[in-house]
Structure 1
Amino acid sequence: MTLTRRQRSLIAFVSIGIGLLALFAAAAAAFFVNKANNRADSLVMHTITVITEALQYQTGIQGAVIGERAFLITRDEQYLTDYENALASYEEARENIRELTRDNPAQQLRLDNIDIQAQHITDSLKRVLSGFMAGTIESRESIVRQNNVDALLADFNDMMAMLIREEQALLQTRRQEQQAGDRLVGQIILGALAIISGLLILQLAMLREQNQVQRARNTEIMALNTELEHHVSERTKELEAAKRSLEEENLRVESLLRDLHHRVGNSLQLVASFLSLQSNQVEGEEAKSTLRAARGRVLSIAATQRRLAMNTNHEFVAAGHFISQIVDDLKANLNFEQNIEITTNIGAFDIPSRDAVTIGVLISEMVTNAVKYAFQGREKGLIHIAFHRDLESERCTLIVEDDGVGLSAGAANPHGGLGGRIIESLIAALGGEIERLASGIGQGPGARLVVTYPYASPA
C-alpha cells in the first residue's frame, strides 16, 4: 500500500511528536532519577560519616582505658596525657554522631544505651585514677582489681558493633537504591534511543558521562572503605600490643608477689631461729617456755604464709586443701606427749587469701591450746576441726572441739592466758564471735569452741 504525501507528512509529524514526547519523557525521567541518585549519594556519604564517627567514639573509649591503665602501671605522665586526649576525642565523636543520627530514633536509642555504658566506663576510670592520686590505692594488684572495666568495655563494644552494623545495613540498602536508579536511567535512555535514532550520539554521550561520574563515585567510596579498614586494622594492632604489654606486666607482678612471699617466709623462719637461740641462752623454765611458745607461733605464721605462696590464685584459696596442710604442719611441729588424733570436716568452698593467714593462725592457736591443756593425765585424745560456710546467711563457722578434761576442769581454761588473748584478737580481726560449749565427741566432757564470722569476698 502506497502512502500519500499527506499520510507521510502525518506519520512524520506524529513520529516527530512521539519522538519529542519520548525525548521530553526521557529527559524528565532522567532528571528526577538523577536527582534521586544525588540524594542517594548524599545518604551514602552521610552513612559513611556516621560509621567513621562511631569508630572514633569507640576508639576514644578504648584509648582512655589503655592510657589510664598504662599510667597506673608505669606512672608515665605521657600515658595520662593519652588518657585525657582519648576522653576529649570520645566526647567530640559522641556529639557528632548524636547530631548525625538525630533523624533516626532507633539509632538515637542505641546511642542512649551506648552513652550510659561509656559513662559507666569513664566513671570507673576516673574513680580509680582519683583513688590512685589520693593514695588510697597502693598496690598494682589493687589497681587492676578495682579498675576492672573489661566487662563494661566488652558490653560497650557489642553495643557499638550493633550500631555500626545497622549503619552498614543502611549503607547497603542505599547503595542498592542507587544501583536501581542507575539501571532505571539506562532503561529510559535505551528506550529513547530505540524510538529516536537521531539522538543516539547525544544519549550515548550522556550515558557515558554519567557512567564516568558513577565510576568516580564508586572509586571514592572504595578508597574510603580501604582507609576505614586500614584505620581499624591499625587500632586493632595497637590494642593487641597494649594487651600483650598488660599480660607481661601481670606476669612480672605475679613474680614479684611470689618473691615477696618467699622473702616473708624466710624472714619469719629467721625470727623463729633467733627465738630458738635466745631460748637456749636464757635461764629459767618460764622464760624458755615463753620463747618456745613465741617460736611456735612464728613458725605457724611462716607455715601459713608458705602455703599461700604455693597457691596460684592470689585472691582465693580452697578451704579444704589449705586447712589440711595446716593440720599436717601441726602434726609435724607439735610435740605430742600423748597419742592425739586430729580429724577434719571442711566444706567445699574458697576463702579470701587476705583472711587465710588469720584463719590458719587461729586454728593453730586453738589446736595448740587443746594439746597443751585438754589431755592432762590422759594417754590419748581426739581433736576435731570443722569449717563450713552458710550461703544464705553468708557466715562461716569454725569449730575446734576435743574430748579432753572439759571447760570446768580449771587446768584447760581456753579463755585465759596469752593463747586465749591471741584467739580473741584474731576473732575480732575477722569481725566474728566465739561460743564455748561442752563437746559431744569421745568419752570425756571435752570443750567445743565455735567461731562464727561474716564471709566477705574481695572487692
Structure 2
Amino acid sequence: MSSPSRIGSLLTKSSFWRMREEASSAALLLGLGVLLLVAALSLYLSWQTANRNAQAGEANEVRVASLELLNAVRAEEIAAKNFIISGDEASLSEHARAEAALEDRLADLAALATRSKRYLGVVEVLRDRLAGRAQRFQGAVTGRRASGIDFAYNTAFNRANEASLDEVERLLNEIAGSATIKQELNLSDSESGRWWLAAASVASFLLSAALCIGALFGLRRRVNLLKASERVLSAFNTQLEMSVRQRTAELETAKAEIQREKDRAEALLADLNHRVGNSLQIVSSLLGMHGARIESQEAREILESVRGCVHAIASAQRRVRLTGSNDLVEVNHFLDSLLQDLRSALGGDDRVTISLSADEVVAPSHDAVSMGVIVTEAINNAIKHAGKGPVEIKVTLAGDRDKKPLRLTVEDDGAGFEEGSANKGGLGSQITEALSASLRANVSRDHVQPTGPRRGTRIQLDFGKDALAA
C-alpha cells in the first residue's frame, strides 16, 4: 500500500475511533447525566416516600392517641357513674386514677398535635370540655353526698353529662377519622412514588430495584407495625368491653338492691300507716265506751264529735297508699277507698247513698289525710242532720293544679243548715276550718237549692296554685 493510501487509512481509522470515543464520551456523559437525573429523581422519590411514610406514621400515632384518649374518657365516665350510683367513697380513688390516665392521654395527643401543627384547635376544645366534665363531676360528688341515690336520677346533670360525652366522642372520632384519611393518602402517595421509581430507565434498574426493595421492606415494616398496633388496640378494646360488661353487671346489681330497699321501706311505711290507723280506731272505740257512761247530753255530744273525728282520721290513715314517688298519694283512689269504709260503717243503711266523681289528682300523704278527714266530717254531719228521710251525698274532686283550679265539693239533698248557724263555731266546723287552712284552701258552705224543705248543704274547698305542694 502506498504511503498516501496508508495515511488516508490511518486518518480514516483515527477519525473513526475519535468519533467513537467522542460518541462514547457523549454517551457516557449522557448516561451519567441520565444516571444523575435518575439518581436525583430516585433520591427525590425516596425522600418523598420516606416523608410520606413519616407522615403516615404521625397520622397513625395521632389516631392511636385519639382512640386511647377516647377509651380513657369512657373509663373515667364508668368510674364517675360507679360513684354516683353506689355512693362508695372508695370508688373516688378509682375515678382519680381514671382521671389521671385521661390527663396523660390528653397530654400525648396535645404533644402530637403540636409536633404536626394540626388539630391544635380541636385539642384546646377537648381540653376545655374535659375540664368542664371534671368540674361537673366535683359538683356531682357534692350533690351525691347531699341528695343520696336521688342524684343519680337528676335529669339536668345526666343530660349535660351525656351531651358533653357525646361532644368529646365526636371530636375524638373526627381526629381519628382525619388521621386515618391522612395516613391512607400518604400511603397511597408512597405507593405511587414506588411505582414511578420502578418505571425509571433500564440503565438504573439495579438502583431502582434496590430503592424499590428498600421501599418495600420499609413499607412491610410499617404494615407489620400497623398490624401490631391493631392487635394491641384490639386486645385493649376487648379488655375495655369486659370491664364495661362487669361494671354494667355491678350497676344492675346495685340498682336491684336499691329497688329492694325502696320496696321494703314502702312496705314498712304502709304497715306503719295501717298500725297508726288501728291505734286511732282503738282510741275512737274507747271514746265511744266512755261517752256512753257520761250523763251530760252536751258532754256526750262533744265526746261523740271528737270520737267521729278520731274515727275519720283513723280511717283515712289506714287508706293511705303511696305512689312510686317519695310521699305522694293518688287522691282519687284514696277517696274511693275511704268512701267504701264509710259505706261499710253504715251497715247497709239503704236510705244513705254516697257517690264519688274524682279526676286524677296526686298530693302529699298528709294533705290527702286532711282532705279525707274533711270529707268524712262533712258526710257524717250530713247523715246526722238528715233525720229519718233518705239522703244522697255527692263527693266531687275536679281539676288539677296545672290546667284548671282544683276544687273539692261535698253536697247532700237533706234539710240543709239553718240560717245564721254557719258561724256558730262547732267542733266539726272548727276542724274543717283548721284543716282547710293547712291545705291552703278557701272553704265555703251554702245551700244546694235556694228554697224548699230540702235545700241541702254544700261544703266546697277551692285550692290555690300553691296548694298540695309536695
TM-score strictly above 0.5: yes
Which amino acid in 1 is paired with 2:270?
H
> Which of 73, 82, 104 is matched with 2:91 structurally?
82
Q: What's 2:196 paired with?
A: 191
> Of 119, 136, 142, which aligns to 1:126?
142
For 2:406 and 2:272, the matched residues in 1 are separated by 31
Asked whether the equivalents of residues 53 and 97 of structure 1 are also in contact (C-alpha less than 8 Å), the reply is: no
> Which is further off, 146-155 or 238-247?
146-155
2:104 & 2:365 partners in 1: Cα distance? 46
Q: CA deviation at 1:33?
A: 1.8
Equivalence for 1:41: 60
CA distance in structure 2 between the aligned counterparts of 1:384 and 1:232, rounded to whole angstroms = 63
Show the counterpart of 1:432: 441
**Counterpart AA for 1:168:** N
- Aligned sequence identity (%): 17
Q: Check whether the contact 1:342–1:382 (CA below 8 A) recurs between aligned residues.
A: yes
The match for 1:12 is: 31
Which has the greater radius of gyration?
2
Q: Secondary structure at the match of 1:401?
A: strand
Distance 1:52 1:445 in 2: 77
Instruction: Describe how 1:40-439 pairs up with structure 2 within 5 A.
Output: 40-68=59-87, 79-83=88-92, 86=95, 90=99, 93=102, 97=106, 105=121, 122-123=138-139, 125-127=141-143, 129-130=145-146, 143-145=148-150, 148-149=153-154, 152-195=157-200, 196-199=204-207, 200-201=209-210, 203-273=212-282, 275-277=284-286, 279-280=288-289, 283-284=293-294, 293-309=305-321, 315-334=327-346, 339-373=351-385, 375-376=386-387, 379-391=389-401, 395-409=405-419, 413=422, 416-439=425-448
Deviation at residue 398 of structure 1 after TM alignment:
1.2
Give the 3 Å change call, closer, same or farther, for CA 425–330 of structure 1 in structure 2.
same
Give the deviation of 1:16 after TM superposition: 1.9
> What are the superposed Cα offsets for residues 145-172 of structure 1, whole Å, 9 maximum, x if unpaired?
4663256325522431342133123213
Is the CA contact (8 Å cut-off) linking 1:117 and 1:156 kept in structure 2? yes
1:179 alignment partner AA: E
How many angstroms apart in 1 are the aligned matches of 2:100 and 2:381? 64
| More displaced 10-residue stretch of structure 1: 32-41 or 333-342 | 333-342
TM-score norm. by structure 1 comes to 0.78
Distance 1:308 1:119, change over 3 A: farther
For the residues of structure 1 that align with 2:263 and 2:42, how far apart are their CA atoms?
81
**Partner SS, residue 386 of structure 1:** strand
Compare 297-306 and 286-295 and name the one that shifted more.
286-295
> AA paired with 2:183?
Q
Kindly tell me: are residues 19 and 110 of structure 1, through their superposed partners in 2, closer, same or farther at Cα, counting changes over 3 Å? closer
Q: State the partner residue of 1:27.
A: 46
Q: CA RMSD for the aligned pairs?
A: 3.9
State the secondary structure of the residue aligned to 1:379.
coil
Does the 8 Å CA contact 1:341/1:382 hold for their aligned counterparts? Answer: yes
CA change 1:336–1:441 in 2 (3 A) is farther
2:305 and 2:428 in contact (8 A); partners too: no
| Letter in structure 2 aligned against 1:387 | L
The letter for the 1-side match of 2:168 is: L
**Residues 388 and 397, structure 1, Cα contact 8 Å, conserved in 2:** yes
Q: 1:312, 1:148 → 2: CA distance? A: 14
Residue type of the alignment partner of 1:22: L
Cα distance in structure 2, aligned partners of 1:144 and 1:290: 49
| Cα deviation, residue 204, structure 1 | 1.0
Which amino acid in the other structure matches residue 59 of structure 1? I
Letter in 1 for 2:462: T
Tell me which amino acid in the other structure corresponds to 2:31: A
Given that 1:261 and 1:305 are in contact with CA atoms closer than 8 Å, whether structure 2 keeps it comes out as no
How many residues were matched structurally?
433
Structure 2: gaps of 5 or more residues:
1-18, 114-118
Matched residue, 2:10: none
Gaps of 5+ in 1: 69-78, 132-142
Q: Closer, same or farther in 2 for the Cα pair 1:304/1:181, shift >3 Å?
A: same
CA separation of 1:144/1:382 partners in 2, compared to 1, >3 Å: closer, same or farther?
farther
| 1:406 counterpart letter in structure 2 | G
Comparing 162-171 with 102-111, greater Cα deviation is found at: 102-111
Q: Are the structure 2 counterparts of residues 29 and 126 from structure 1 closer, same or farther at C-alpha, using a change threshold of 3 Å?
A: same
